[in-house]
Copies of this chain bind each other. A is one copy, B any other.
Amino acid sequence: MLFTHMVELESHDLSELLKATSDPTRRIILTLLAQHGPLRVTQIATHFDMSLNSVSKHIKMLERAGLVLRRTEWREHLIEIQMDRLKLVDRWFEDLRSIWALRLEALDNLITKETANDTDNN
């Protein structure tokens, strides 16, 4: 069956991903990482008017969503963005658009057919 994977397969991962990106602070963190490459937690925290702990928690959420990878080198934790992970969201959006397009297409076919019938009847 087409589009089956949308319904429940990957659903939990997708929810985590979308929830993780739905917070402005976390989106800024992702932007920083895309701009500057891997950063330490404290480096990231300097960009916010917020306790280090809160930033740490945000990073942990990004980590759980797989949007970020932690390479613990020495005492420092290097946080690295995982761009590939975004594809999962992309795919869901594409699927939704496909479903939508399919319906419009069917609708269009129906109208064309009816118009043909109309001309038959005239």
Contact = CB atoms under 8 A, between A and B. Distances in A.
A19 interface: yes
Interface of A: 6-8, 11-12, 14-15, 17-19, 21-24, 27-28, 30-31, 34-37, 81, 83, 86, 89-90, 92-93, 96-97, 99-100, 103, 107
Task: Tell me how many chains of this kind the complex includes.
Answer: 2
Contacts of A90: 93
Contact of A100 (B83, B93, B107): B83
Contacts of A83: 96-97, 100
Nearest to A32: B99
Contacts of A6: 27, 31
Contact of A11 (B11, B24, B81, B86): B24
